[in-house]
């Protein structure tokens, strides 16, 4: 796939699947701008890829508008937005505080909405654009002990479908990639038990293929979804879970 001349903005681009996606887009010739609140991690990706960066919080709509303006000022266009920034809280409803509930929805749902809304205007003017949201298998099926996360991913899936319909005639395709278990730093995030080899093995054994995905295996699907090869695809949830939800 060749993305030469295309400008791709990737939120959460400093880590995990966002960073892997940034790497793949750079390798395919795109100009890449990563958007992330973790300046230290983002600096490493910028050094590695020679890409641009906007540091800030995607749950802040003012920042999202500024980040897109910065992209337009620098490159004059925005072809691809990948919304990969996300967080998790691991708790059932009785153990989820107001602050945790709001934090997850602010980042995962508001962040996707604010960045997408900021990008839709310029994409509509261009008469073309692609948005890819990171949903999850937990947006389609339930899971134990992650109620806020499941709710947020379900909301992302419905936002994806609704926005896709609103902008299908504007030449903008909007889809979600829905990964299963992926080996990223999020695995350890907010977990009460340590990430031991035994835990990794348990997680791997729960997957029909018998292993977790590596971030690049999701990033490659994102690149396909952003490419002209996916020209008839919009409003779709693309599951990449090695059969997890096929049962």
Ligand X SMILES: NC(=O)c1ccc[n+]([C@@H]2O[C@H](COP(=O)([O-])OP(=O)(O)OC[C@H]3O[C@@H](n4cnc5c(N)ncnc54)[C@H](O)[C@@H]3O)[C@@H](O)[C@H]2O)c1
Q: Which is nearer to ligand X, 28 or 186 (CB)?
A: 186
- Please identify, among the stretches 74-82, 89-97, 122-130, 176-184, the one whose residues bind ligand X according to the rule CB under 6 A: 176-184
Residue 149 is among the residues annotated as catalytic for this protein: yes
Residue 5 CB, nearest distance to ligand X (Å)?
A: 26
**Which residues lie below 8 Å from residue 2, measured CB to CB, with a gap of 6+?**
28, 29
CA distance 8 to 30: 7
Considering only 8-16, 74-82, 124-132, 226-234, which stretch makes contact with ligand X by CB under 6 A? 8-16
Strands (E), the chain: 7-11, 31-36, 52-55, 80-83, 129-134, 172-179, 237-240
- Part of the chain binding ligand X (CB under 6 A), chosen from 46-54, 121-129, 162-170, 178-186: 178-186
- Decide: is 21 part of the binding site for ligand X (CB under 6 A): no
Q: Which of 89, 244, 208 is nearest to 153 (CA)?
A: 89
Q: How far is the CB of 227 from ligand X (least distance, A)?
A: 20
Tokens 């609140």 -> residue: 37
Residue tagged active-site, from 75, 149, 232, 244: 149
Compute the distance between CA of residue 214 and CA of residue 194 in angstroms, rounded to an integer.
Answer: 20
Q: Does 17 bind ligand X (CB under 6 A)?
A: yes
Residues 134-153 that bind ligand X (CB under 6 A): 134, 136
Catalytic residues: 149
């Amino acid at each position: 796939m060749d993305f030469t001349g295309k400008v791709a903005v990737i939120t959460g681009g400093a880590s995990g699947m966002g960073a892997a996606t940034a790497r793949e887009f750079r390798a395919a010739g795109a100009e890449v701008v990563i958007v992330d609140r973790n300046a230290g991690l983002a600096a490493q990706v910028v050094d590695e890829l020679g890409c641009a960066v906007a540091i800030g919080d995607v749950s802040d709509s003012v920042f999202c508008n500024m980040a897109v303006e910065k992209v337009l000022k620098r490159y004059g266009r925005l072809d691809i937005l990948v919304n990969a920034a996300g967080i998790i809280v691991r708790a059932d409803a009785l153990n989820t505080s107001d602050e945790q509930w709001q934090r997850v929805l602010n980042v995962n749902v508001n962040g996707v909405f604010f960045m997408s809304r900021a990008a839709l205007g310029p994409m509509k003017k261009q008469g073309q654009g692609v948005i890819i949201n990171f949903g999850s298998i937990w947006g389609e099926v339930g899971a134990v002990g992650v109620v806020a996360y499941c709710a947020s991913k379900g909301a992302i899936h419905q936002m994806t479908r609704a926005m896709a319909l609103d902008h299908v005639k504007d030449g903008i395709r909007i889809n979600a990639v829905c990964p299963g278990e992926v080996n990223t730093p999020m695995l350890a995030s907010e977990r009460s038990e340590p990430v031991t080899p035994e835990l990794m093995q348990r997680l791997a054994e729960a997957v029909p293929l018998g292993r977790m995905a590596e971030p690049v295996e999701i990033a490659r699907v994102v690149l396909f979804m952003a490419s002209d090869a996916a020209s008839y695809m919009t409003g779709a949830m693309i599951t990449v879970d090695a059969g997890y939800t096929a049962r």
